Amino acid sequence: MKTYNQYSEYLIEQVKWQRSLFDHLFYDGDKLLADDQYGDPSYDEDDENDVNSKGFVSERRQYIFQQPSDRSFHLPLNSRFIERIFGEIQILACHSTGMEGLVKLTKLQKKRTKQISAYTVDNYGTMTSGVWSDNGGGIIAIVKGQAVAGNDNDIWSRVDKQGKRVLDITNNIVNPNDVFGKHGDRTFLKLVKAYEKLTKALLTMKREMISKLKEKYGDKRVPPTTKGEQKWETLRQYDIPGAVKQKAIRDYVIETEKIITSDDEWKQAFVQYLLSWPKAQAKKLKTKSKLGDYDEIVVSNFEIVYALLRKVF
């Protein structure tokens, strides 16, 4: 079992849950997040009893290519791409943090390649009364920047190691039925049909890319460093050169944009799905959300306008 100091180090490391962009795009997301969601930090990777115990591997981070049946499609939220297909949406939004988080936030200002998760609606004070990125206290930063995605509930955007955010646009985290207008009218039906065709094309592209990667690297893993990795090969990264990963990411992004812009109806449905809420909030702010406790808007190229300290009792 791990010592107290090892346990503490594990907890500190756990807050750094970000994955590389390659991991987000091509690996099974549930397996990657298993250690964050279910992991027992008291397990010792070099203890035979722990390694052989029930649940050990299922509670560790595993590297497994997505299966053909996986319906997730993670979109890297690129501000320049959003500008090209729609234009720039400037918005004021809030970001809850603490002192440590505020220092980090100042360093992310005016950078197109960095995004933060922000909100404009907080129905029940969920965000303003205790959800802090560093658990250090109640600071609410008012930021102004470019909205690149959003909806009037939590869209579960994820951040990679470089500070870019990705959004799963095919697993109904944002339900198309909630963003395409009145149910049953002609426009609604047209957009739903177009979005279904778009996501089918995107998933086909992703699956073909994963199939090629799996064929070449599926049986290649980096050498084990612990007894746990010796017994369970899925705990080890695939041995894929960095240049190959970079090319795969680049091809994924290029092909994604080509597919989205290849059909005017697909493009219209995509814009409506991704940007209808932030566009409406930028034009006329609503203070309540119908779908959840709070909304989420991903903001890029932002600057801090105000930083408010909330009195904590």
Domain ranges within the chain, ordered by starting residue: 74-205+253-309
Where is mean pLDDT largest: 161-175, 214-228, 274-288?
214-228
Q: Could you read off the pLDDT of 150-168 as tens digits, one per residue?
A: 998 889 898 888 888 999 9
């646009």: which residue's tokens? 169
Please tell me the predicted confidence (pLDDT) of residue 13. 32
Q: d(Cα 276, Cα 150) in Å, to the nearest integer?
A: 8
CB 64 within 8 A of CB 206: no
Mean pLDDT (the chain, rounded): 86
Check pLDDT > 50 for residue 23.
yes
Q: d(Cα 111, Cα 165) in Å, to the nearest integer?
A: 13
User: Considering only 29-43, 177-191, 195-209, 248-262, which range has the smallest mean pLDDT?
Assistant: 29-43
DSSP string of 176-212, one letter each residue = GGGTSSSTTSHHHHHHHHHHHHHHHHHHHHHHHHHHH
DSSP, res 185: S
User: At what angle are helices 264-283 and 242-261 packed, to 10 degrees?
Assistant: 90
Give the dihedral sign, CA 57/59/64/69: positive
User: At what angle are helices 186-217 and 242-261 packed, to 10 degrees?
Assistant: 160
Please tell me the predicted confidence (pLDDT) of residue 7. 31
Reduced to 3 DSSP states, what percent helix, strand and coil does the chain have, rounded to the nearest 5? 40, 20, 40
- pTM score, whole prediction: 0.86
pLDDT band with cut points at 50, 70 and 90 for residue 77? very high
